[in-house]
Every structure is written in structure tokens, then in C-alpha cells.
With several copies, the nearest count.
Chain A
Amino acid sequence: MLEIYSGALDVESILSRWYRLSLRDNCGAFVPFVGSVRDENGISGLSFDLYEPLLKSWFARCSDRVEKEGATLCMAHSNGNVYLQESSFVCAIYSSKRKIALSMIAEFVEDFKTDAPIWKYDLIGKRRIYALERSTPLYGSGILS
């Protein structure tokens, strides 16, 4: 399940909803990750662009991998501006027993960081500055250079 929201995520209601799904599916382990906007480097927030077609096909492949292990993957991400002490990213894996969810969550978040077609900008004053130095080139980058 992939959910895209305009602006900050309502983390509490998202976690509650997914938690109830994990109970409905008779799963004993529910392991979320929440990413929030920290006060650092003088930013007033972050901003995101998403490319949905590729995001959806990338997520579907991740979800298949998780489901092959008998677990379920959920993810929500913000589009647009997200301010300090708000959250832009929530994901969760739930599984019958603890080991699968616990071992897959870190791997998924790392894959997400390097592979999800999302661009991040720092909001500083009235400017929206692309976070190039914190970004990772996608698969195949540079073939046209």
C-alpha cells in the first residue's frame, strides 16, 4: 500500500490505521519507521517532488519482495512542503512473527533512500534549494554524458 499526501503526514492516524490492519491480518509483529523534519542548517522545512509512475512501479517491486516472505509493506510520503517537527515519510512492515519484519525494515528504508524517485529541497527563507549533496544518483546515471 502506497499513499501520497500533499504536505505533512498525519503520522498518528496513519500508524493507527496500519496497526489495525496488522491485527486484522493476525500478524504478531508491526514495525514502522517515521522520518521527520529536524531543525538543522537554518531550514524552515523541506520540500519534495515525486515522480509517481516510477515511484509506483518501484514500490510494487519492493512490496512483492516483502510479500514473498509472508509480510506486508506500507508506505506514505509527502509531496510539496513539510515544515519543522512535521513528518514526510512513514513506512511499516508487518509479519506473523517478529524476525521478518525486523530484518526487512532497515533494508527497505535504505533501498528507499537510494532508489525512490523523490527529490528533496531545503526551504531557507523564501528559497527552495535542491539537496544535491545529500542525493544519490539512480541506476544507470550518466549514460548520456
Chain B
Amino acid sequence: MVSVEFLGPIEIPTMQLEIGSLAELGEILRTIDESKKWLEVSAIAINDTLVDSLDIELKDGDRICLLPPVCGG
């Protein structure tokens, strides 16, 4: 089981999913209207580290975050 958290302006509650890879997560989120529109502009952090590849295996307890475009200051 991994948790998937949507940060900032993405108004989707945290999900608990039984998935083994980021590619699987993409498949699921592309089927949901609310999440689909954010995928192109959002970054992914696994356990608070940004990743740049789908070739990452997920372990039980991993925390995944979706981070939309930022603007501090």
C-alpha cells in the first residue's frame, strides 16, 4: 500500500493504493478527470524526493506527492 497526496491547489483527498510502480499510478490518475488535467504540469516526489523517471519500484509505505507549478515570494 502506498499513499498518494495532492499538494497545493489540487483538491483531491489523499489516496491509498495497492500499486507497484509509478507507471501504474499514471494509468490510474489518467482515468480520473480531476487528476488528469494536472499530470502534464505536476512533479512527483517519492518520500519527499523529486523524481524524473517512471522506472522506480514502489515499496509498501511509500509516500507519493503530486506537486503542481510553484510560485513563492
State yes or no: do A and B touch (Cβ within 8 Å): yes
Are B72 and A141 closer than 8 Å at their CB atoms?
no
Residues of B within 8 A of A (CB): 7-9, 22, 25-26, 29-30, 39-45, 48-54, 65-73
Q: Is the CB of A119 within 8 A of B45?
A: no
Asked whether, in the complex, the Cβ of A51 is within 8 Å of the Cβ of B72, the reply is: no
Q: Are B73 and A89 in contact (CB under 8 A)?
A: yes
Q: How many angstroms from the CA of A121 to the CA of B72 in the assembled complex? A: 10
Interface status of A98 (Cβ within 8 A of chain B)? yes
- Residue contact B9 to A115, C-beta cutoff 8 Å: no
Provide the main secondary structure of the chain A interface.
Answer: mixed
Q: Which of B22, B30, B42, B51 contacts A142 (CB 8 A)?
A: B42
Given known pairs A54-B45, A119-B9, A141-B42, the reply for A135 and B51 (CB within 8 Å) is no
Decide yes or no whether A140 CB sits under 8 A from chain B. Answer: yes
Asked if A118 and B72 make an inter-chain contact with CB atoms under 8 angstroms apart, the answer reads: yes
Instruction: Say yes or no: B9 contacts A130, CB within 8 Å.
Output: yes
A17 contacts B by Cβ under 8 Å: no
CB pair B7 A140 closer than 8 Å? no
User: A112-B73, A136-B71, A139-B52 known; A130 and B26 CB under 8 Å?
Assistant: no
A112 touches B48 (CB 8 A): no
Across the two chains, which residue of chain A brings its CB closest to B56? A143
Residues of B within 8 A of A115 (CB): 70
Q: Which residue of B is nearest A130, CB measured?
A: B9
